[in-house]
Structure 1
Amino acid sequence: MTIEIKAPVFPESVAEGTVATWHKQPGEACSRDELIVDIETDKVVLEVVAPADGVIEEIVKAEGDTCESGEVIGKFKEGAAGESKPAESKADSSKDEDKSDASEDATESGDAILSPAARKLAEENDVDPAAVKGTGKDGRVTKEDVQNFIESKKSSGSAVAKPAAAPEVNVAPGERPQKRVPMTRLRASIAKRLVEAQQTAAMLTTFNEVNMAPIMELRKQYQESFVKRHDIKLGFMSFFAKAATEALKRFPAVNASIDGNDMVYHGYQDIGVAVSTERGLVVPVIRDVDALGLADIEKKIVEYGTKAKGGKLGIEDMTGGTFTITNGGIFGSLISTPILNPPQTAILGMHKIQERPMAVNGKVEILPMMYLALSYDHRMIDGKDAVQFLVAIKEMLEDPARILLDV
């Protein structure tokens, strides 16, 4: 029986998508719920899985083609037998047939049980499945487990995964090669929004600096107890999120947005945290930050960071948001002017902590200082409010007790 493969139903805010990658080709065997194609939208990558055991019969929309919500992108033949890989030998096929059953959702590799998508990802990146710790049912290794394993190896400097970039080319002396790559839909969307923010908003940036010594001492003093109690490390972002939340209460215009000729004041604090991924910058939103503790904020940040790297962020994770915080300091930025995240009216930029000589009570002391930058829409926020908002954040970070006492 032939089944139409359709693009997922996109949210209202997403008009169309692009076929990013076909993981299976016509004639290639698929297991039920195995990943067969990725659809890239302006905000997220949506996965389409096989509806049953069978083979890809026809690809209607090739990689790079635009598709609309629910549009047919391919055809699938249920129950048909196909090659496990288009280009593998008969000997390899017979081995795979001995190891797997078409009616099962997972295959065994050594002592590890892998889902089909995890197995494919492991093979593509030369990952030993036995080295990956499974978090699925009965210890099954999921695609996310393999992805996290690859990312951890990258961060530790181990070259486990094959580079995703184009292979190296031997260039003769004097040659001037160049490579033209189509802009991804997410990158194009980011570019459009950044240009729109600069063209439509009266954007200004005000700066200040904060002594990070009190926060660093607090972390050093309570880090061990914090980890023991909450099973997560205490970072800087949670302090900034709480300080920003208290400052937003005092300056409602900074927590507002512009909708046409209307100014919308929000009675809650949903803070977006900018996360850099290989595909581009995404801004997942931590909701109702005022009601969260430092541990809850840190857990949300880690959760979103993991989902962002694995391309698992959903539309609901990134919609809304009344204020944004971005941290260029993790890449070494000393100072910058962040661009607004429309329709929000302000964004806070964190930067690198650097020891500098500072005058304290008539004496020179070496202190760990960080520059803060607040970009804001002057149509909505007066300069006085913007400066006082940033000063309020500075004061709360330099004396964390102010956050608890609301002073």
Structure 2
Amino acid sequence: MADETWVVTMPKLGETVTEGTIGSWLKNVGDTVEFDDPLFEVSTDKVDSEIPSPYDGVILEIYVQAGETVPVGTDVVRIGPPGSTPGAAPAADAPAAEATESTAAADDPQAGQSAMAEGAGVVHDLTMPKLGETVTEGTIGSWLKNAGDTIEFDDPLFEVSTDKVDSEIPSPYDGVLLEILVQAGETVPVGTVVARIGEPGATPSGSGAVAPATPASGPAAQPTSSASSATPAAAAGKNYSPIVRRLAAENGIDLGTVTGTGAGGRIRREDIQAAIEKRPAQGAAAPGVTPSAPTGAAPAAAPAAAPAAQAPAAGMGPQAVPAVPGVPDERDEIQTLSKMRLAVAAGMVQSLQISPQVWTSIEVDYENVEIARRKHKDAYRKATGASLSYLTFVSKAACEALLKFPAVNSSIDVPNKTQTFHPYVNLGIAVDLDQKGLIVPVVKDADQLNLKGIGINIKKQAEKGRNGQLGIDEMKGSTFTITNVGPFQSYASAPIINQPNVAILCTDGVARKPVAIGDTIAIHSVGIIGMVYDHRAFDGSTASMFLLELRNILQTRDWDAELGG
């Protein structure tokens, strides 16, 4: 079983952190885990964090119990591939905390040569990460460190390309890069060992040349490429990364015509982008002419007078592209997406894939709220330091309405045929980080707070979020979320649900408008409140009644009395 299991070590949660304490285990031996499932909690002198599983599989052994404090890099849990049975022999006879050499060295004599390098001590295997739930392989884009280099925690080590994202992978350890096992341009399954890191001061054995890769066993264990350091095709750039293949297909680029600038002539994403940009200057296809198809696809010529939207000619392969791709403009600026933007993007797509989302809305006459705001806003700001905004009133009213309609304040698990109703409100408030991304800090037990308490806590959590001071626990556990785009004078919005909530409320812009009051016309403050909900959890009647209750609270509550008269 040694070759078929993976060991998760105590992570280094900060540059000066040298040890961590297991707070609690969130999984037990024998439990099935999936990628990104929370495994255990770690406490250090700086932060408490929930550590997710880097693999799909089964918990085979727990080495470090709750309450124990161990050094960074200590093995804490062993995971086997899906279907494994606990009780199989571990990779080494002694717990990793007492190990003096790599477990890989014990199993693989060739790997042992480098693991036993002078002063190597504990050797850590660095594997191809899983950069998404459906990702099964990755391509090494480039190495940012060389064998023999000293590295520190969080130093960028290598770039990985998948069919979804390009990412820079940081080092999880301080030490020395002993071996590079997968060279730039190679595509290997998730879990494959790509490099080995020794303790600070270790000396790599040999010349530091790239060694053959050590694939991890399990469902995704077989490499999709047999390229190694001696494989000419990979050095010639023929082993294209998923993102290179996709960009080429989408833009009608013949990879055989592209000169690679990567190691050994490997074609990089930048090379494809350069080819796209240069195409007009090199005689780009005129309107109506199909651009070059990917290698292996039949050429498709079309009459010069054919319309631009003409479909590709028959006989083209599955990667055929529309007849005329967008022509790049030299004024365009291409920027790499930030990690936060990629995380937001992934979360939004995942939410839409999980739940059928429906939008409904209601118009609210805020005049009752506006009268109280005008009367109390100065005193409120002086007492709390917070603005007496419409969001504060909506949040208070929402907490009351949620307790009357528990389905809206629930979580649903269709695979397990369960729905969990929360008799409390942990209110998530979406916070914009200067247009660079979104976070959702949580006001815990918001239903127990009065109007002032809710306003103060929203302000505090938003400020901590913008200053990067929120702990992980302060962004977990929401039961319902509100996003407030009203200050930007939006009219009506349909946001995406913040999983695992089953609904999200949006407060849009408030404007002075004529309204009918009996048989008379008056000018009041009016705005739309919209809600997107998971149709699996409840139906349109519940959504509409919830919004009606929310509106009635806002329009009829004696807010003046609640604010102190």
1:288 partner amino acid: D
Offset of 1:333 from its aligned partner? 1.0
Unaligned runs of 5+ in 1: 17-40, 43-55, 78-173
User: What CA distance in whole angstroms lies between the structure 2 residues aligned with 1:287 and 1:404?
Assistant: 25
The answer for the alignment partner of 2:250 in structure 1 is none
Is 1:62–2:156 an aligned residue pair? yes
The answer for the alignment partner of 2:457 in structure 1 is 300
Map Cα deviations across residues 178-220 of structure 1 (whole Å, 9 max, x no partner).
Answer: 3333322322221122112222212111111111111111111
Is 1:235–2:396 an aligned residue pair? no
Is 1:272–2:366 an aligned residue pair? no
Q: 2:485 aligns with which of 322, 328, 344?
A: 328
User: What CA distance in whole angstroms lies between the structure 2 residues aligned with 1:311 and 1:351?
Assistant: 26
User: What CA distance in whole angstroms lies between the structure 2 residues aligned with 1:216 and 1:387?
Assistant: 24
2:421 partner amino acid: Y
Q: 2:409, 2:425 within 8 Å by CA — same for their partners in 1?
A: yes
Spell out the pairing of 1:6-21 with structure 2 (5 A cutoff): 6-8=12-14, 11-13=50-52
User: What CA distance in whole angstroms lies between the structure 2 residues aligned with 1:401 and 1:74?
Assistant: 67
Runs (4+) off by over 6 Å: 73-77, 402-405
Q: Which has the higher contact order (CA 8 A, sep 6+)?
A: 1
User: What CA distance in whole angstroms lies between the structure 1 residues aligned with 2:361 and 2:175?
Assistant: 50
The answer for the alignment partner of 1:191 in structure 2 is 345
Offset of 1:6 from its aligned partner? 4.6
Larger radius of gyration: 2
Map Cα deviations across residues 85-107 of structure 1 (whole Å, 9 max, x no partner).
Answer: xxxxxxxxxxxxxxxxxxxxxxx
User: What CA distance in whole angstroms lies between the structure 2 residues aligned with 1:73 and 1:294?
Assistant: 52
Rate the CA distance shift 1:228–1:313 in 2: closer, same or farther, 3 A: closer
The answer for the alignment partner of 1:205 in structure 2 is 359
Q: Aligned with 1:353: secondary structure?
A: strand
Offset of 1:291 from its aligned partner? 1.3
Q: Aligned with 2:156: secondary structure?
A: coil
Spell out the pairing of 1:145-224 with structure 2 (5 A cutoff): 176-224=330-378
User: What CA distance in whole angstroms lies between the structure 2 residues aligned with 1:335 and 1:287?
Assistant: 28
User: What CA distance in whole angstroms lies between the structure 2 residues aligned with 1:14 and 1:187?
Assistant: 23
The answer for the alignment partner of 1:119 in structure 2 is none
Map Cα deviations across residues 366-396 of structure 1 (whole Å, 9 max, x no partner).
Answer: 2211101011111111111100000111111
User: What CA distance in whole angstroms lies between the structure 2 residues aligned with 1:202 and 1:241?
Assistant: 25
User: What CA distance in whole angstroms lies between the structure 2 residues aligned with 1:389 and 1:314?
Assistant: 32
Q: Aligned with 1:352: secondary structure?
A: strand
Is 1:377–2:531 an aligned residue pair? no
The answer for the alignment partner of 2:409 in structure 1 is 255
Map Cα deviations across residues 36-75 of structure 1 (whole Å, 9 max, x no partner).
Answer: xxxxx99xxxxxxxxxxxxx9755732863247x533889
Q: 1:67, 1:73 within 8 Å by CA — same for their partners in 2?
A: no
User: What CA distance in whole angstroms lies between the structure 2 residues aligned with 1:335 and 1:317?
Assistant: 29
User: What CA distance in whole angstroms lies between the structure 2 residues aligned with 1:307 and 1:249?
Assistant: 28
1:62 partner amino acid: P
The answer for the alignment partner of 1:71 in structure 2 is 173
User: What CA distance in whole angstroms lies between the structure 2 residues aligned with 1:281 and 1:72?
Assistant: 31
Offset of 1:329 from its aligned partner? 1.2
User: What CA distance in whole angstroms lies between the structure 1 residues aligned with 2:475 and 2:380?
Assistant: 28
2:458 partner amino acid: I
Is 1:364–2:521 an aligned residue pair? yes
User: What CA distance in whole angstroms lies between the structure 2 residues aligned with 1:388 and 1:258?
Assistant: 20
1:220 partner amino acid: R
Q: 2:156, 2:170 within 8 Å by CA — same for their partners in 1?
A: no
The answer for the alignment partner of 2:29 in structure 1 is none
Rate the CA distance shift 1:404–1:370 in 2: closer, same or farther, 3 A: same
Deviates more, 1:323-332 or 1:290-299: 290-299
Q: Aligned with 1:257: secondary structure?
A: strand
User: What CA distance in whole angstroms lies between the structure 1 residues aligned with 2:378 and 2:533?
Assistant: 38
The answer for the alignment partner of 1:137 in structure 2 is none
Rate the CA distance shift 1:179–1:287 in 2: closer, same or farther, 3 A: same
Q: 2:440 aligns with which of 278, 283, 300?
A: 283
User: What CA distance in whole angstroms lies between the structure 2 residues aligned with 1:281 and 1:303?
Assistant: 16
User: What CA distance in whole angstroms lies between the structure 2 residues aligned with 1:229 and 1:248?
Assistant: 28
Rate the CA distance shift 1:178–1:290 in 2: closer, same or farther, 3 A: same
User: What CA distance in whole angstroms lies between the structure 2 residues aligned with 1:404 and 1:346?
Assistant: 30
1:298 partner amino acid: G
Question: RMSD value over aligned CA atoms?
Answer: 3.3
Between the aligned residues of both structures, percent identity stands at 30
User: What CA distance in whole angstroms lies between the structure 1 residues aligned with 2:443 and 2:54?
Assistant: 25
1:72 partner amino acid: D
User: What CA distance in whole angstroms lies between the structure 2 residues aligned with 1:357 and 1:282?
Assistant: 36
Q: 2:386, 2:459 within 8 Å by CA — same for their partners in 1?
A: no
Q: 1:6, 1:73 within 8 Å by CA — same for their partners in 2?
A: no
Q: 1:353, 1:370 within 8 Å by CA — same for their partners in 2?
A: yes
Is 1:245–2:399 an aligned residue pair? yes
Q: How many residues align?
A: 268
Is 1:351–2:453 an aligned residue pair? no
Offset of 1:232 from its aligned partner? 3.8
Deviates more, 1:323-332 or 1:217-226: 217-226
Q: 2:151, 2:174 within 8 Å by CA — same for their partners in 1?
A: no
Q: 1:323, 1:344 within 8 Å by CA — same for their partners in 2?
A: yes
Spell out the pairing of 1:106-117 with structure 2 (5 A cutoff): none
User: What CA distance in whole angstroms lies between the structure 2 residues aligned with 1:302 and 1:368?
Assistant: 24
TM-score in terms of structure 2 length: 0.43
Q: 1:393 aligns with which of 514, 525, 550?
A: 550
1:305 partner amino acid: A
Q: Aligned with 1:71: secondary structure?
A: coil
2:504 partner amino acid: I
User: What CA distance in whole angstroms lies between the structure 2 residues aligned with 1:177 and 1:225?
Assistant: 51
Spell out the pairing of 1:78-93 with structure 2 (5 A cutoff): none
Offset of 1:305 from its aligned partner? 1.9
Q: 1:325, 1:349 within 8 Å by CA — same for their partners in 2?
A: yes
Rate the CA distance shift 1:397–1:179 in 2: closer, same or farther, 3 A: same
Q: 1:355, 1:369 within 8 Å by CA — same for their partners in 2?
A: yes
Offset of 1:312 from its aligned partner? 2.0
1:329 partner amino acid: G
Counting helix residues as a fraction of each chain, which structure ranks higher?
1
Q: 1:7, 1:67 within 8 Å by CA — same for their partners in 2?
A: no
1:324 partner amino acid: T
